[in-house]
Amino acid sequence: MNRSTGRTILGLVSIFGILLALTLVFFYAPLAGDPTTGRALPEQKIFYFHIASAWNGFLGFGLVFVFSIAYLWKRDRRWDRLATAAMEISWLYFTIVMVTGPIWGRVAWGVWWTWDPRLTTSLVLWIIATAYLLVRALVHQGERAAIICAAFGILGFVDVPIVFMSIRWWRAQHPVILSTESVGLTPPMLVAFITSLVAFTLFFFYLFWIRADLASSEDTVAHLKERARARL
């Protein structure tokens, strides 16, 4: 099986998984109820996509961290390409987190935004990812841009455990999501949650595969252009 076929299969599986997750979330998992009023909360459905996106944002930063260290060690352009691809997908997922979070916060807390430790550290992580991509877009391709971006990538990963542990280290309104008791997950809700998590993760690797191959092609084209200019 060649790379193109493998990528296509991964894409189809991930899209099927997302469709299955949507079906389970909206037609199988029951609505959560407000603990004080007992009112059903349709907005709770955001939970399944919010947490799955957060996990993949963290996963992306982990890959960026590994690839950035590999680039600084080897100075091989390939690692820089992989780090950039991972950061772009991570930024996409974390943008979903930063959009869905305030929507749920408006329902749960009555405000769109509060300087809760989890929200604040997540915003810092999103800003670091945005800065990484801005440097990549504004600074000419080359070793200088790669080194600056590698520094941002490593710095961003340092914030990941802070984001994760913030609700345990400081007083926070944000619930401890990984405790099923804390969010009242019933078995059907847990099935929908795990399906969403797996589907979003498969889709992450599908997008990453596409972006990494595209970056490799862009480098090949740039190299051919340089050779052509050198012959003129």
| One-letter-per-residue 3-state SS of 190-209 | HHHHHHHHHHHHHHHHHHHH
Given a contact cutoff of 8 angstroms between Cβ atoms, the answer to whether 185 and 193 are in contact is: yes
The mean pLDDT value for 150-178 works out to: 76
Pairing type for strands 32-33 and 40-41 reads: antiparallel
- Spatial distance between the Cα atoms of 127 and 91, rounded to a whole number of angstroms: 9
Look at 165 and 17; give whichever has higher pLDDT: 17
Residue 105 confidence (pLDDT) above 60: yes
Q: Which of 3-7, 166-170, 176-180 has the lowest mean pLDDT?
A: 176-180
pLDDT digits (tens, 9 = 90+) for 170-210: 665 555 554 444 456 788 999 999 999 999 999 999 999 99
What phi and psi values does residue 59 have, to the nearest 5 degrees? -60, -45
CA distances to 12, 72, 91 from 127, rounded to whole Å, are 32, 22, 9
What is the longest distance spanned by two Cα atoms in the chain? 76
pTM, 2 dp? 0.86
Residues 56, 99, 123: CA angle, nearest 5 degrees: 70
